[in-house]
Structure 1
Amino acid sequence: MAVVPVGILLLLLVPLLSYWLCAPEVKAGNEISDWAGKELTKLGALTRNEIILVMMVVTALLLWIFAGSVISGSLVGLLVICGMLLVGIVSWKDILDNHAAWNTFVWFATLVALAGGLSLVGFVNWFGNVVGGQISHFDPLMAMVALVAIFYLLHYFFASVTAHVTALLPVILAAASGIAGLDMQMFVLLLLPTLGFMGILTPYGTGPSPVYYGSGYLPSTLFWRLGAIFGLLFLVAWLVIGLPWLMVIS
């Protein structure tokens, strides 16, 4: 309910803005659907290897969802890869030639380690405490806006939303609680929804982001630029429309 006005606006605005900023080369015609139909015809019925692959994927998903306390998620992935190699679904050369996957692996592993390192050395806590001290004399409403913006933009330093929440949320909440007159319930309602759209900022902001980035569909510069544009749009829309709406309904 709290995000309905902003959600509806962005649902209408984002496709139009995407079309304007990154216009498709093919805007009309049946070429793509015709090509897809021909390719599906060429593929024919499911093969033995494809059926086995589907079974492996479903098994992996079930283990990730229901057996996380029994078996490591990484081990599940490795077992599936080994199974694919043993059955002959893929070859070792296929794995080595999958440059997008290796690119994603290196990006994500490096940036997760970097984000963890920033937390371990105390940088995030130090930064949060400094910022909290600087805005402690602000008007409560302005302090809320400033803290939400800081919390949102600091996602540039994190390679997952979970790491962001773990490292930064307690610091921001502590800083907010020290500001006289600040409504903590309102602040939490304003702060937490940003976790749902801050992943747009970077190619490593959430788990799926490196996969999208690694596909190579968008050049690196364009990916970063679009992330900054849409990230700023989401934040401004949330603060300009979402905050007054929260004040009305709460």
Structure 2
Amino acid sequence: MHDDPAESIAWALAGFSDPTVWLTFGAFLFAIGYRRSGLGRRIALMLVRRLGRRTLGLGYAIALADLALAPGTPSNTARSGGTIYPIVSQIPPLYGSTPGAGEGRIGSYVMWTAFASTAVTSSMFITALVPNAAAVAMAHKATGVSVGWLQFALGFAPAGILLLLLVPALSYALLRPKVGDSSATVEWAHGELEAMGPVTRAEWTMAALVLLAIWLWVTGSQPYLGLPWPGAGSLHPVTVVLVAASAMLLLGVITWDDLTGDREAWGVFLYFATVLTLADGLSRTGFIGWFAQRASAPLHELDPRLTLVAMLALFFWSHYLFASVTSHALAVLPVVLALAQGVPGLDAPMLAMLCVHALGLMGVISPYATGCAPIYAASGYLGRSMFWALGAGFGMLYFAALLGVVWPWLTWGPVWR
């Protein structure tokens, strides 16, 4: 990339200093803390105990539990598959709902609500899904759009809140669980919380650190907010991550072995740092510009807004061909953004953000579309045809939310540009 070997080495290692890489890595450390301290399980059980007396309320408790864990858990496999699923899987047997003839009593409802909800929460925060941060970085390199933690959350908030309100109610209407009163779930959750004992020091510490980190991400790295207190806009996201990780180690929430032994966290760190550098290399060598100029030529005569819709649809529904959101983002997003840059009048930054916010949502469409999907598909409560039908239906709902809510909000809302 450079005639000077020293500059070439500096470029090759540049991805390891990218703030989005460290933001994702820090969220992985929070996931370790949730698991080690037991805070994630306690939050889920408390919401079930509070809202689970009616079956519909139980659905909202499941959705809110996932939402509470999403800002600090960048893997829906860990969040939904590792924390939420072990809890909800114990609920159906309380009502005689078993895979097969009894799944309709309540099992299908709680399983699908949990799965459909995590697809929504995965799009609500930059730290809620592994590829979100990397996609934001790629969008910045390709279109110049700059999005921080708060901008990302606010940009999807109207659609996210609407969908989280709809998912439990719509799932209830479609799946029609035969159990309306779920009081036994409340009693079970109460017993589980009693068995856990009082809130531990590690849980209090973990909760405080997560809230502090989110606060610093929101206020410390967003100079455009014009916040009035000293130091606002001066903290780098990497600084926040290092401070939080150091505090978790020093206060005993996680151990050094936890930090060094999490292969998924370090694997993602190395993988994304390398991919972002390679993506930058494609741009520097002129390949992206060359590809955009030639591949976008047939689109020049089309209406730019219709072209944007068509390209977003291509990005979203082509996920049927992928078994990983991460691989989809890394393979398809650069192509879509390159095409967008070559179409006169097309709002490339808008398309970039719509695609980024689509990453979590597209995980709902198939039994293999995202990391936790096979877990729910194998539960026995969601038959193969049922899963595909619900995935297609909710996929259309989520895609409509991108076009009907996210797009207008990003166009007229006060959160970016």
- The normalised TM-score by structure 2 is 0.38
Give the SS at the match of 1:236. helix
Q: Distance in 2 between matches of 1:60 and 1:218?
A: 35
**Structure 1 residue runs of 4 or more that deviate by more than 6 Å after TM superposition:** 35-41, 59-62
Structure 1 position 235 matched with structure 2 position 388:
no
Shift of 1:15: 1.2
| Post-superposition CA distance 1:18-38 (Å, at most 9, x none) | 101112221115344557778
Counterpart of 1:17 in structure 2 is 170
Q: Distance in 2 between matches of 1:61 and 1:229?
A: 40
Q: Distance in 1 between matches of 2:411 and 2:312?
A: 16
| Post-superposition CA distance 1:100-130 (Å, at most 9, x none) | xxxxxxxxxxxxxxxxxxxxxxxxxxxxx99
For structure 2, the residue ranges without an aligned partner over 5 or more in a row are 1-153, 198-256, 268-292
From 177, 189, 194, give the equivalent of 2:358: 194
**Is contact 2:361–2:395 with CA below 8 Å preserved after alignment?**
yes
From 141, 159, 164, give the equivalent of 1:6: 159
Counterpart of 1:166 in structure 2 is 330
Q: Distance in 2 between matches of 1:145 and 1:3?
A: 18
Counterpart of 1:63 in structure 2 is 261
| Post-superposition CA distance 1:32-52 (Å, at most 9, x none) | 4557778999x9x9xxxxxxx
Shift of 1:4: 1.5
Shift of 1:144: 1.0
Q: How does 1:63-142 map to 2 (within 5 A)?
A: 63-64=261-262, 68=266, 135-142=299-306
Q: Distance in 1 between matches of 2:342 and 2:192?
A: 62
Structure 1 position 223 matched with structure 2 position 376:
no
| Post-superposition CA distance 1:123-149 (Å, at most 9, x none) | xxxxxx999565443211111111111
Shift of 1:68: 3.3
For structure 1, the residue ranges without an aligned partner over 5 or more in a row are 46-58, 70-128
Classify 1:136/1:68 alpha carbon distance in 2 versus 1 (closer, same or farther; 3 Å): same
Q: Which amino acid aligns with 1:216?
A: G
Q: Distance in 2 between matches of 1:165 and 1:67?
A: 18
Counterpart of 1:26 in structure 2 is 179
Counting matched residue pairs gives: 180
Classify 1:40/1:143 alpha carbon distance in 2 versus 1 (closer, same or farther; 3 Å): closer
Q: Distance in 2 between matches of 1:131 and 1:137?
A: 13
**Is contact 1:156–1:201 with CA below 8 Å preserved after alignment?**
yes
Classify 1:67/1:221 alpha carbon distance in 2 versus 1 (closer, same or farther; 3 Å): closer
Classify 1:62/1:225 alpha carbon distance in 2 versus 1 (closer, same or farther; 3 Å): farther
| Post-superposition CA distance 1:152-203 (Å, at most 9, x none) | 0000000001110121111111111111111222221222100021000000
**Is contact 1:200–1:227 with CA below 8 Å preserved after alignment?**
yes
Q: Which amino acid aligns with 1:4?
A: A
Give the SS at the match of 1:13. helix
Q: Distance in 2 between matches of 1:182 and 1:173?
A: 11
Identity across the alignment (%):
43
**Is contact 1:204–1:210 with CA below 8 Å preserved after alignment?**
yes
**Is contact 2:156–2:406 with CA below 8 Å preserved after alignment?**
yes
**Is contact 1:136–1:143 with CA below 8 Å preserved after alignment?**
no
Q: Distance in 2 between matches of 1:195 and 1:135?
A: 25
Classify 1:162/1:40 alpha carbon distance in 2 versus 1 (closer, same or farther; 3 Å): closer
**Is contact 1:176–1:184 with CA below 8 Å preserved after alignment?**
yes
Classify 1:166/1:33 alpha carbon distance in 2 versus 1 (closer, same or farther; 3 Å): same
Q: Which amino acid aligns with 1:211?
A: I
Q: Distance in 2 between matches of 1:191 and 1:237?
A: 13
| Post-superposition CA distance 1:76-116 (Å, at most 9, x none) | xxxxxxxxxxxxxxxxxxxxxxxxxxxxxxxxxxxxxxxxx
